[in-house]
């Protein structure tokens, strides 16, 4: 490394966490540079020693990108105190973390990586890209329900963006979102008196879940990684979003 880089970027490139999470660690005084407590905005030069929780942090050379089929009951957190955390469930040989989240009882596709940069770019650009879900509710779906859902629903002091819905059964439908509000689909359904019984994400951007069995994962291939990088190449530095359900 010939030039200094921001500490949060340095930490994210080590695979410890995303830049946003790195800033939180720095604010808590949990990171030192050459023995001194670091500040948000600090920079790291060649030869500097960065330590977090007693361990020296070094950027990783190999970037890992995984598509994981999350089962219901697994929590999208890296907190080791949570016995259902997604990191321990996968048990990957290196430290990885999720891009965005699915709530605990939802299932389906989620990306895992050690690349903090791509996490930030995807989350910033999340509101432009499609996420597709299969949803089962507790009673028959009506045309009125579909029409109102597609136009946008008032939740969380805002109105959801227009979305696409396809009925695929008496109580089942597919929905394509371009935003990620907290528990969005569940909250949207609740407005119209429906309760989500099962929710599964089957696609993010152009990456599909396909044949990954629940609880299993596969590496993203080169073409998929290139496509993701192409789609997020104009990611805004100010817009923040997340792949939530």
Residue with tokens 């979102």: 177
Question: Looking up tokens 């990171």, which residue turns up?
Answer: 31
User: Which one, of 84, 78, 83, 62, lies nearest residue 215 by Cα?
Assistant: 84
Question: How crowded is residue 158: how many other Cβ atoms within 10 Å of its Cβ?
Answer: 11
Q: Which of these, 54, 42, 56, 52, lies nearest to 9 by C-alpha position?
A: 42
Inter-residue contact 56 to 49 (CB < 8 Å):
yes
**Annotated active-site residue in 3, 103, 115, 144:** 103
* Burial of residue 204, with CB atoms counted within 10 A of its CB: 0-12 exposed, 13-18 middle, 19 or more buried: buried
DSSP string, 43-56: EE-TT--EEETTEE
Rg (Cα) of the chain, in Å, rounded? 20
223 is catalytic: no
Residues annotated as part of the active site:
103
């Amino acid at each position: 490394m010939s030039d200094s880089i921001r500490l949060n970027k340095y930490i994210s490139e080590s695979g410890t966490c995303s830049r946003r999470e790195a800033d939180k660690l720095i604010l808590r005084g949990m990171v030192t540079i050459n023995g001194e407590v670091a500040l948000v905005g600090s920079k790291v030069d060649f030869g500097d020693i960065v330590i977090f929780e007693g361990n020296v942090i070094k950027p990783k050379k190999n970037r890992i990108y995984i598509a994981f089929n999350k089962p219901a009951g697994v929590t999208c957190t890296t907190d080791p105190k949570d016995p259902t955390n997604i990191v321990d469930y996968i048990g990957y040989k290196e430290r990885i973390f999720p891009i965005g989240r699915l709530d605990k009882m939802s299932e389906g596709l989620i990306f895992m990586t050690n690349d903090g940069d791509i996490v930030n770019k995807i989350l910033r650009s999340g509101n432009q890209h499609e996420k597709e879900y299969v949803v089962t509710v507790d009673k028959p779906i009506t045309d009125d329900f579909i029409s109102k859902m597609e136009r946008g629903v008032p939740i969380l002091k805002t109105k959801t963006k227009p979305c696409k819905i396809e009925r695929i059964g008496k109580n089942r439908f597919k929905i394509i979102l371009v935003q990620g509000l907290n528990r969005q689909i569940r909250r949207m359904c609740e407005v119209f008196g429906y309760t989500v019984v099962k929710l599964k994400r089957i696609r993010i951007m152009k990456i599909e879940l396909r044949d990954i069995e629940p609880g299993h994962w596969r590496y993203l291939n080169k073409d998929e990684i290139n496509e993701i990088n192409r789609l997020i190449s104009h990611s805004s530095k100010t817009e923040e979003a997340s792949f939530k359900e």
